[in-house]
Structure 1
């Protein structure tokens, strides 16, 4: 079974409608590769229509094909998708595996699974495609981001450990000067990576706010609540500050904005993360990333000019 889909918004049709020779001729010309991959076609059933664009040729077409070797194929093509391109993909469902090639220019391997791994195919697919079990919002983890996260985590961990060991007697600790002085910048690097990743997630065509909120909740709150309870117990021996009341403890579990740090002070960064998740999920799918940038810029200016940062983040 083979499927070819090209579902676009028809930018060519908008600008050069007088030059178009039909949707399949202009928009789905790469379907010629079918004969190269799968052999001769013995029968075709197709239907085309001018669904939306004001042109003299069709802007939408579907077809079913039967190949001489017995395989069946489907073609779906349109330049009438609105408001933007939906997809371009080539899917192959074979006896021993499945492959889907997609991407803006049909140049990315989105799915690659076989009963037995083909010999000699490593050069035509990314190594990370071995891990593509399904197609989540981000089907391929970016290796560079994972390395960046690891470096940021290590720098922050060292920075905090130095603040603990600096109480030791002189000449008993040997710090790494760069990490001792600038390790805290790893937190800002985390924020940068998080902003990039979350924007990729919320701009996905398959983004759903319900699943997004559920995933974020189970990623953050169980561990946060558990560590906060442990910290509450330890304060019996470490002592509590004047603002570390039981009421403040329960309120800080929500990760809602606080005046100053939450009960367990390291949770301040999670408060920022949760605020950003909420803003990105509500703004980007409806208004785009530029609207999110504008909103965050206004929040930053308000924080510096009106001293309202504690109300926003």
Structure 2
């Protein structure tokens, strides 16, 4: 057992006898207690409100809550009388308990601050947009003839002609797409390769590039506005995204599409349905996260204010960092 734990155990052991003795003395006390006071330990009063809070929190009868409060007060008084609260390990344990109570109070205040506001819902929705407010997406495979920004018109004409040749070459991959289904993941495994995408890429790479750079690859699903349906923020070219959204069925091919990267030929592999959770259902889903966020913000504000007090900054930083608000 650590020195701190031994000291705390010593407090309990040393105070137990004194507690029971004082309890019996309190029971025999002749002086009436003032209104609102349930018990008195030395110079300390235990209020009726405190007993009520203990009873409600621990779900015990008021008499049992009063006895528990008296017992704790007696232990504390005996510990102070013996100077045990000066033990560094005991002081740290007491500080941690008080800090946990403070953070629990912050969490309670956040919980009682009312329903999730529209602004809080908007921020939470943006954070979890893939699950809560996802627009329709379009998964494609494409081949792009790369062009530099300063490419001349002759080079651009050559790129468009090559893109036309690629579109002709990849037409056979449409048949593969039409007779197959988009692959699905099994359990935690990644989905197998899409045979239509493989056929498209193979055919595109088989077209002579004529000195130009051609990139053929499958892309993540994208919305019509260009936002990739991925956890990591990723924005695709608007011209490309609009072209992807114009395709209707698996295997549909686009004409040449010019973007900032070059000239593309796209084939639709799959349309990903939108997933939009109704607002009030969404509000209920994010409530715990919002409440935790409120409490953490309150903790940050508390820390910021206390850090302006040089004499307590070290202790506050250590204690509040040791005890974190959890969802």
Q: Which structure has the higher relative contact order (CA within 8 Å, separation 6+)?
A: 2
Higher helix share: 2
Higher Cα radius of gyration? 2
TM-score of the superposition, structure 1-length normalised?
0.21
What TM-score do you get using the length of structure 2 for normalisation? 0.21
